[in-house]
């Protein structure tokens, strides 16, 4: 059964770049069947879709975050990545990675706090 695990710094400074990794186990990112997705949830608020990637590198991004987001994939390491640039306090959230363009299997999430 596929499992996803987010990892990365829990604290990022204002104006810097947030970088997270999602490691996939029990399945391969190099599959024609699924896209791989990032989603976030600010404390006490709802879910926000960030974007997704296909193993070929094809991406789709949230219109509201598109200018600051980069999602990439490393099929050899069975990982995909999120970079969010020029962060502010509003980017403080639990960040989830998930399998599927229609997210069906989720990681447990990782809290990233943006602080000055």
- Decide: is 93 part of the binding site for other proteins (CB under 8 A): no
- Decide: is 104 part of the binding site for other proteins (CB under 8 A): yes
Among 62, 70, 75, 85, binds other proteins (CB under 8 A): 62
Q: How far apart are CA 51 and CA 63, in angstroms?
A: 9
Binding part of the chain for other proteins, among 11-19, 47-55, 73-81, 83-91 by CB under 8 A, reads 47-55
Q: Which residue number, 48 or 55, has a Cβ lying nearer to other proteins?
A: 48
Among 24, 92, 109, 114, binds other proteins (CB under 8 A): 109
Instruction: Give 30's contacts (C-beta < 8 A, 6+ positions apart).
Output: 55, 75, 78
Q: How far apart are CA 50 and CA 35, in angstroms?
A: 13
Among 5, 8, 49, 78, binds other proteins (CB under 8 A): 49
Q: Which residue has the tokens 């400074």?
A: 13
- Decide: is 63 part of the binding site for other proteins (CB under 8 A): yes
Instruction: Give 103's contacts (C-beta < 8 A, 6+ positions apart).
Output: 37, 39
Q: How far apart are CA 79 and CA 75, in angstroms?
A: 6
Binding residues for other proteins, per CB under 8 A? 37, 46-49, 51-52, 60-63, 96, 101-109
């Amino acid at each position: 059964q596929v499992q996803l695990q987010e990892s990365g710094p829990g604290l990022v400074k204002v104006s810097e770049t947030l970088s997270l990794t999602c490691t996939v186990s029990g399945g391969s990112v190099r599959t024609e069947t699924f896209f791989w997705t990032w989603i976030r949830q600010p404390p006490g608020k709802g879910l926000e879709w960030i974007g997704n990637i296909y193993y070929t590198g094809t991406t789709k991004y949230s219109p509201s975050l598109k200018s600051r987001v980069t999602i990439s994939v490393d099929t050899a390491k069975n990982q995909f990545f999120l970079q969010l640039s020029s962060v502010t306090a509003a980017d403080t959230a639990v960040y989830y990675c998930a399998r599927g363009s229609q997210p069906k299997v989720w990681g447990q999430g990782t809290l990233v706090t943006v602080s000055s």
